[in-house]
Amino acid sequence: MRRKTRTVLVGGGGITGLTAALALARAGFRVELFEQAEGFETVGAGLQVSPNALAVLDQLDLAHRVKAVATAPSAIQVMSASSGRQIVAIPLGTHATERYGRPYLVVHRADLQQVLASACADNPDIHLHMESRLDDVATHANGVTALVRQGTAMNEFTGLALVGADGVRSRLRELHFEAGPPIYSGLTAWRALISAELLAGKGSGGGNTESTQLWLAPNAHAITYPVRGGRYLNVVVITRAPLEAQSASDSDGAGEVKAAVRNWAPSFTALLDHKARWTRWPLYKAPRLRRWCDGPVALAGDAAHAMLPFAAQGAAMGIEDAAVLADCLRRAGDTGEEAGTALAQYEQARRTRVARAAQLARTNRLIYHLPPPMSWARDIGMTVLGGKCLLARQDWLYRWTPKKLEDPY
């Protein structure tokens, strides 16, 4: 790579974009990051930070900050939504830490984003541009030139490469990779945060704030876990729903959620009696892409491969992408290769693993939503296998660790 500049442009200030900026800075690059929002979100849903994602954050010296705002559930309790009984408990807590070298965490998305954004703001090699929309990009012999709308002005920024981390509705994906819009999955997620104070004294069941609970029902499932130091229970109910009249801003959905789970066990439906703001989120997938990279331009995270949340790996795959991409660019700089070659190596390194994670999500969707009598066989099979065996089946996923990002300067 003929280094006429050590600047990399990043489009998107979500989990993937912020992690990419930090990983690139650690690898010796300067970063210009563009986020079209006025500020980083303070609302949102919970997400799960599995050991493979935490390995990247650990390498960026952020694991301790994430742990301070996250919770480490003791187990995943797989529950029957019809009976309210536990099918199996998959051990996490100390068992996961001993098995993978790092804990399995759950965290509010805004809390994780704030940790990443603060680290970016503190890094002199990262420049955050808010209210800045990436409008177009051109490639040339020296790298890339991006056209960025900032208020009423249109400004140009140059770099050796551009990383598009602008999410499932990626503008860069449509502009530069001629891809179609995201694809609706036929599923919608209803999300809410319920105060732990309201749950106090209500017993275990759906109000458990020590463990993650996965509730299985025909054509639907729900997941609950504690966030923000256990002060809130994050509740997500995923059901089939037509796309018509849906939006991500609906917030008066308690009635619709109650209708969707009306035949579920009281230990779960009692959660809906508590005051909470329910928000509807239609679930989309990224269109299938022939390539993620085009010369010095690459997509990462949901922009490249948005998947359904049935494996809890959407954010984790984006965090992994960030580390691998930064390492490929660093090694290309050391050997004199071009940025386009480095990004092609990044895509080659990530394709198979991301595809396997996406397949796991598709398989879990089928398993979670089975109707009787197939669901009865599923429940028996899970019970016979046991929680430790079910966790061991994910070893390929959770034992992944990134190569060390060493500053070459």
- Residues with catalytic function: 225
Could you give the CA distance from residue 100 to residue 170 in angstroms, rounded to a whole number? 33
The token pair that represents 352 in the structure block: 């198979």
What are phi and psi for residue 340, nearest 5 degrees?
-60, -40
List the one residue out of 40, 61, 54, 49 whose CA is nearest residue 123.
61
Burial of 82 (0-12, 13-18, 19+ CB in 10 A): middle
For the stretch 310-314, contacts whose Cβ atoms lie closer than 8 Å and that sit 24 or more positions apart, written own/partner, are 310/360, 310/361, 310/362, 310/364, 310/365, 310/368, 311/357, 311/360, 311/361, 311/364, 311/397, 312/47, 312/48, 312/50, 313/50, 313/357, 313/360, 313/361, 313/397, 314/47
**Look-up of token digits 């619709």:** 256
Torsion of CA 227, 255, 315, 10, to 10 degrees: -110
The token pair that represents 356 in the structure block: 């396997």
> Are 254 and 138 in contact, with CB atoms under 8 Å apart?
no
List the one residue out of 357, 328, 388, 371 whose CA is nearest residue 24.
328
List the one residue out of 150, 86, 173, 165 whose CA is nearest residue 120.
165
Q: Which 3 state secondary structure label does DSSP give 177?
A: coil
Q: Where are the beta strands (DSSP E) in 151-299?
A: 153-159, 161-164, 183-195, 212-217, 220-227, 232-240, 279-285, 293-294, 297-299
